[in-house]
């Protein structure tokens, strides 16, 4: 069994750097997607209210804005689920391997 490493050794380890880079890349991509989704919806509210106010059916009370808002929330949940799935399937295993390698 290998001895425990110092914080500096861990930070300078190429496997640790690769793991951090992998996590950051995945997190940044999902964050950008979420921001585009959210601010796209807010922008639609700000700049195209007449579109969102259109009725879905002739006599109905529901407007186009309601399903778009619901879809915005649901897509946010999907993006969260994607991150959780990725973390459980890949990231957590990589962290465990790195911990084992580092003696922790």
Long-range contacts of 20-25 (CB under 8 A, 24+ apart): 22/91, 22/94, 23/91
Q: Which domain holds residue 89?
A: 13-102
Q: Tens digit of pLDDT for each residue in 9-45? A: 888 989 999 999 999 999 999 999 999 999 999 999 9
Is residue 6 a part of any domain in this protein? Answer: no
- How many angstroms separate the CA atoms of 84 and 75, rounded? 14
Is residue 8 a part of any domain in this protein? Answer: no
Report, in this order, helix, strand and coil percent for the chain, each rounded to 5. Answer: 80, 0, 20
The whole-model pTM stands at: 0.81
Is residue 87 a part of any domain in this protein? Answer: yes
Counting the structural domains of the chain, the total is 1
Is residue 3 a part of any domain in this protein? Answer: no
Q: Tens digit of pLDDT for each residue in 63-96? A: 999 999 999 999 999 999 999 999 999 999 999 9
Is residue 67 a part of any domain in this protein? Answer: yes
Is residue 81 a part of any domain in this protein? Answer: yes
């Amino acid at each position: 069994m290998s001895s425990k490493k110092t914080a500096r050794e861990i930070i300078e380890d190429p496997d640790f750097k690769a793991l951090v880079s992998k996590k950051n890349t995945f997190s940044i991509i999902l964050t950008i997607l979420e921001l585009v989704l959210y601010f796209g919806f807010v922008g639609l509210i700000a700049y195209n209210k007449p579109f969102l106010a259109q009725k879905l059916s002739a006599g109905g009370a529901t407007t186009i804005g309601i399903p778009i808002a619901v879809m915005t929330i649901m897509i946010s949940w999907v993006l969260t689920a994607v991150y959780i799935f990725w973390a459980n399937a890949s990231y957590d295993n990589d962290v465990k391997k790195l911990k084992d390698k580092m003696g922790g």
